[in-house]
Structure 1
């Protein structure tokens, strides 16, 4: 295991690691910067400490189980774990996203890759299905074929060949108590609304789930305007309705100063460095590599002026500490144009991956995201992820209804384990 990841999984700062190993903080910095290899004894000490911590962890007290499909880097999972759920299966095809996922969720189960290659019995029984599925156009070819043969067809047939169809197959086979699906806001209007009607029809008419959906802006929880549609479904009738919940007011959300690097925070190479000249009490400064070059900054300004002259709104998003950012996208690695941070002097800069982790809600008082991949990969992963506080709030709202559904079904394995129901009859 990479030394820095091992240190962070132990919950240690650089100074605490140095004290534990009996070395100087400078030695730990050199190891993590790749200037020197760690001694085997150091790695063994940290691995033993981590094993002891895991053995002493709180016993499993989960209230329901869930599976994490199209898992990305675990944003949906984080929200539902905080609500008392336990992940029993993960599927994510991108190997770099798998790397980040494994670093932050050291599971006993493996991460499955291609969902289209899975057999249904490879997926364990579960109470809740989570999926931030990709949106693909639905073909009418299959429906036309059924019509030509004079056969009846349902909405599920219309989705064949799409990744959403794989979600439907899992729901049909396992019949979990509930599910939560997440997608971009425009899913609702895609293809003049036909895509969304097909999705709702497959879930309600073909599979018999009771669904509710809502577009939620993460701006009430994070300093970022990020609208996403959430579709919740329940196997049994419940009173769950997104419209009955008040989510955080987008006009009263936090500002960027809550996620930007502070001069007095602990240095984190490669994102922040020690100041070259100590003219203040600053402990760290953002690495100069995140500042835009003159060439790139000149190009972005010229591009913005070109489109402004045409009456278009295209251009960069220049922000300060008291602002709210645009939506962080997977293309952020290219030029950072949608969220540029104004500097006192010189060209603006991109967010660092650590700031992106905070902007997406992965870093909070209880968690600190481990980022084991390159900046380019990290930007793509955070841009493709979900806003964790929003999912956490949705999970909190869904939880009573999930448990209600489980407790009303005497064949619920999770409910029986909790002693809420009698064992099913033989």
Structure 2
């Protein structure tokens, strides 16, 4: 058994993954009281409140073999302001570094949004790598990015497209860490060999038996939501076999003339206006007939986001009620009901068309790799559960990437002494006969 600490713990995705590999959480930290309560409810461990306090007082941190944490992603997320390390939450990584320098666990595993390793956050990415190396941890320049839908059922995958960056380092001492940087990603960003991602099925792999009648209404669509979907379904029927474009359809842009203010719009918006205008002129007869239909609520009175439509379901079935949908600020997005888009910490819970309802919190837990027969949301509101699943790390991916990293770095992990060998023994990996001086050489 190896000991680990679980920082920025949320409801315990790292806990579920690492404990499943023989780990024991000796400390957790989560500042938000709602996920902290769910963490304690499920794992019988009360999280500390503040990583910064622990960084100031490392004597409060027990010895451990692995430091794990999904440090705050909002400073780096595309849905945020993308201020990176300039934002207060972005500097929490500095506290992680202080803890690593003080405790020197053999392995560190961190998770964040893919955007962290993108061009807009290059300064933050390089600062993170440099900080880890200065603390003595070998990390490669090339990011490890992986998604649960790329992993088979047998290895703990899940039908959710959720690319995340995983940063893993092994303690080798500063001198080696600063020079051994030309490393491949821990795992490639490709489907596991022999696995076909189209084999996923939301119905077979995610859905649970229908909730009782007293609860099911919470997940059923409202009358307005059904009307929005039915209205777009009418248009698809009237378009017949016409190819649906890959760009977002904006009903309010379907006119012969360009809108007022067109020339002052940014280039990306001008392009979408032109694409939608061309689409309208090509299918004007069907669109005008669709617009003129009598409805209780006219199209012009739909919320702006419901006058937008994104078809991402390919060239097959055109009935929206056969697909997976999301009601997003960018429009009604439609995908085949094979695998789901990434859960987010906002009210965009996927709608499973055949059952005309949203996924339930336990079903979103399955998308994140939690076992719904043992993991509990207690009696908290659904809105809190959806938010927590949107923020969670995926259990299966953490387990997959961590195992691959340990196997690749067994020699240096063993060189860290008993704390390192405990990881190898827990994972059933033969402990190499290496000198404990190797890591510091």
Corresponding residue to 1:218 among 132, 143, 148: 148
Q: Deviations over 1:98-138 (max 9, x none)?
A: 1111121013xx31012122221111111111010114335
Q: Residues 159, 274 of structure 1: CA spacing in aligned structure 2 closer, same or farther, 3 A cutoff?
A: closer
SS at match of 1:113: coil
TM-score, L = length of structure 1: 0.64
CA distance in 1 between partners of 2:147 and 2:416 (Å): 34
Corresponding residue to 2:341 among 326, 342, 350: 326
Tell me, yes or no, if structure 1 residue 101 matches structure 2 residue 117. no
Corresponding residue to 2:53 among 117, 121, 127: 117
CA contact 1:65–1:414 (8 Å) conserved in 2? no
Corresponding residue to 1:208 among 136, 142, 146: 136
Partner residue in 2 for 1:59: none
Corresponding residue to 1:132 among 58, 66, 70: 70
Partner residue in 2 for 1:369: 375
Partner residue in 1 for 2:30: 92
CA contact 2:201–2:338 (8 Å) conserved in 1? yes
CA contact 1:217–1:228 (8 Å) conserved in 2? yes
Deviation at 1:190, TM superposition (A): 5.3
Q: Residues 274, 359 of structure 1: CA spacing in aligned structure 2 closer, same or farther, 3 A cutoff?
A: same
SS at match of 2:98: helix
Deviation at 1:180, TM superposition (A): 0.8
CA contact 1:259–1:355 (8 Å) conserved in 2? no
Q: Residues 370, 201 of structure 1: CA spacing in aligned structure 2 closer, same or farther, 3 A cutoff?
A: same
CA contact 1:317–1:326 (8 Å) conserved in 2? no
Deviation at 1:258, TM superposition (A): 2.6
SS at match of 1:289: coil
Deviation at 1:407, TM superposition (A): 2.9
Q: Residues 215, 103 of structure 1: CA spacing in aligned structure 2 closer, same or farther, 3 A cutoff?
A: same
Partner residue in 2 for 1:261: 207
Q: Deviations over 1:263-305 (max 9, x none)?
A: xx4xxxxx70159xxxxxxxxxx71221121224446778975
Q: How does 1:14-33 map to 2 (within 5 A)?
A: none
Deviation at 1:326, TM superposition (A): 1.1
Q: How does 1:206-355 map to 2 (within 5 A)?
A: 206-212=134-140, 213-220=143-150, 221-236=157-172, 241-243=184-186, 248=192, 249=195, 251-252=197-198, 254-262=200-208, 265=209, 272-273=211-212, 287-298=216-227, 305-306=250-251, 310=273, 311=276, 313=310, 314-318=330-334, 322-332=337-347, 336=349, 339-343=350-354, 348-355=356-363
Q: List alignment gaps of at least 5 residues for structure 2.
A: 76-82, 151-156, 233-247, 255-272, 277-307, 311-329, 426-430, 437-441
CA distance in 2 between partners of 1:272 and 1:183 (Å): 33
CA distance in 2 between partners of 1:247 and 1:229 (Å): 16
Q: Residues 414, 394 of structure 1: CA spacing in aligned structure 2 closer, same or farther, 3 A cutoff?
A: same
CA distance in 2 between partners of 1:272 and 1:126 (Å): 41
Deviation at 1:242, TM superposition (A): 3.1
Partner residue in 2 for 1:382: 389
CA contact 2:406–2:413 (8 Å) conserved in 1? no
CA contact 2:198–2:338 (8 Å) conserved in 1? no
Q: Residues 375, 410 of structure 1: CA spacing in aligned structure 2 closer, same or farther, 3 A cutoff?
A: closer
Deviation at 1:250, TM superposition (A): 6.6
TM-score, L = length of structure 2: 0.62
CA contact 2:352–2:359 (8 Å) conserved in 1? yes
SS at match of 1:242: coil
CA distance in 2 between partners of 1:244 and 1:330 (Å): 27
* Higher relative contact order (Cα pairs below 8 Å, separated by 6+ residues): 2
Q: Residues 244, 230 of structure 1: CA spacing in aligned structure 2 closer, same or farther, 3 A cutoff?
A: closer
Partner residue in 2 for 1:69: 7
Q: Residues 101, 251 of structure 1: CA spacing in aligned structure 2 closer, same or farther, 3 A cutoff?
A: same
CA distance in 1 between partners of 2:183 and 2:162 (Å): 24
Partner residue in 2 for 1:166: 95
Deviation at 1:406, TM superposition (A): 4.4
CA contact 2:65–2:105 (8 Å) conserved in 1? yes
Q: Residues 160, 354 of structure 1: CA spacing in aligned structure 2 closer, same or farther, 3 A cutoff?
A: closer
